[in-house]
Amino acid sequence: MSVLSTPQSVAEGAVGSLAAPRGRSVRERAFEAVLFVMTVLALVVLVVLLVDILRDGAGRLSLDFLTSYSSRNAEETGIRTGITGTLSLMALVALFAFPLGVAAAIYLEVFAPDNRFTRFMQVNIANLAGVPSVVYGLLASAMFVYILGWGRVLLSGVMALTLLILPVIIVASREAIRAVPPSIMNGALALGATPWQATYKQVLPVAMPGVFTGTILALSRAVGETAPILVAGAVFSRRADNVPWRVFEPFGAVPIQIYDFVKRPQEAFQNDAAAAAIIILLSVLLLMNATAITLRNRYRQKL
């Protein structure tokens, strides 16, 4: 409010004091202030975290850091293993999780009969989202590494992450499909399209931007996951590149290398190298999230 008292400011003041009775105004304001501080505190921590990481890691970043394999010497180590590993993981996880997730969402949203099995499926998806990520690592370790005998290889890691983010993609895709006006489906059906034709040719294209947004966000979660692939057998260092078509080779990942750096006692690893790798990881996540948000906004404007 301005210092000068205009008729308007007097009127506003009067209304303000109606909403907050005078006798309690100090306590009222204190209560609001406390809530505000609590709200902002977590965000302050976020800012401190980002500043701390930038300060620790910015000096260590270089092209060499991105293109060198890991080394026992902190000054020479790099995250090439992690980068090729993470890119390969993402490509394959997208390849598996996207079609599976979208198909499951189409089934649940359009075709599933309203019976006990469907309801069980839905409750189950909600429950899977609450299973700790490390448990998916246990699943991958026992099932894929040992029972199927694949060993600690790229494909085992891909399976752990695919199963982990599948519920996220299903939920997001269902929302995108639900947002499509029913008139589109009904119009297609009225013109003689079969249910599948109506879904595939009419509903799905409209829902696609939303589905993509959800998938990218889910993938960005998979990029940062450490525990599941660690348990599924990801390696800390490797003097070879991962490529998506060699699925039965050992694999690394950027978060795994961060964990490895943090665990080492030397400051040059624990602080500098780890923070530099974190900057790379967070930049990738930022890029993915920005893509997803741009996609979502463009799509909103069109509707």
Partner 1 sequence: MSDLANRSAPIDLSPSSSRLGERAIMKVLLFAGSVSILTTLLIVFILLEEGLRFFASVSVADFLTDTVWRPFGDPESDAFRIGIWPLINGTLLVTAIAMTVAIPLGLGAAAYLSEYAPERLRRKIKPSLEVLAGIPTVVLGYFALTFVTPQLRLIFPEGSIQIFNALSAGIVVGIMVVPTVASLSEDAMSAVPNGLRQAAYGMGATRSVVVRKVVVPAALSGIVSAIILGMGRAIGETMIVAIAAGNLPTMTVNPGDQVQTMTGYIVQAVGGEASRGSLTYQSIFAVGIVLFSMTFGLNLLAQRFVKRFREVYE
* Range 215-244, binding partner 1 (CB under 8 A): 220-221, 223-227, 230-231
Return the closest-CA partner of residue 92 out of 170, 34, 158, 29. 158
Closest to partner 1 by CB, 10 vs 50, is 50
Q: Which of the ranges 4-12, 23-31, 64-72, 75-83 carries the binding residues for partner 1, by CB under 8 A? A: 23-31
Closest to partner 1 by CB, 52 vs 75, is 52
Instruction: Provide the residue type at 62 as one letter.
Output: S
Closest distance of CB 216 from partner 1, Å: 12
178 sits near partner 1 (criterion: CB under 8 A): yes
Which pair of tokens denotes residue 225? Answer: 């996951």
Cα→Cα distances 285→21, 122, 218, 231, 292, Å: 48, 29, 11, 22, 11
Closest to partner 1 by CB, 154 vs 176, is 176
The number of CA neighbours under 13 Å toward the Cβ of 92 is: 25
Cβ–Cβ under 8 Å, residues 280 and 79: yes
First to last CA, the chain: 40
Of residues 94 through 133, those in contact with partner 1 by CB under 8 A are: 99-101, 103-104, 106-114, 118, 120-128, 130-133
Which residues neighbour 143 within 8 Å (Cβ) at sequence distance 6 or greater? 159
H-run or E-run covering 12: helix 7-19
Of residues 40 through 79, those in contact with partner 1 by CB under 8 A are: 40-43, 45-46, 48-49, 52-53, 56
301 sits near partner 1 (criterion: CB under 8 A): no
Would you give the DSSP letter of residue 241? -
Of residues 136 through 155, those in contact with partner 1 by CB under 8 A are: 136-139, 141-143, 145-146
Closest distance of CB 15 from partner 1, Å: 14
Closest to partner 1 by CB, 78 vs 272, is 272
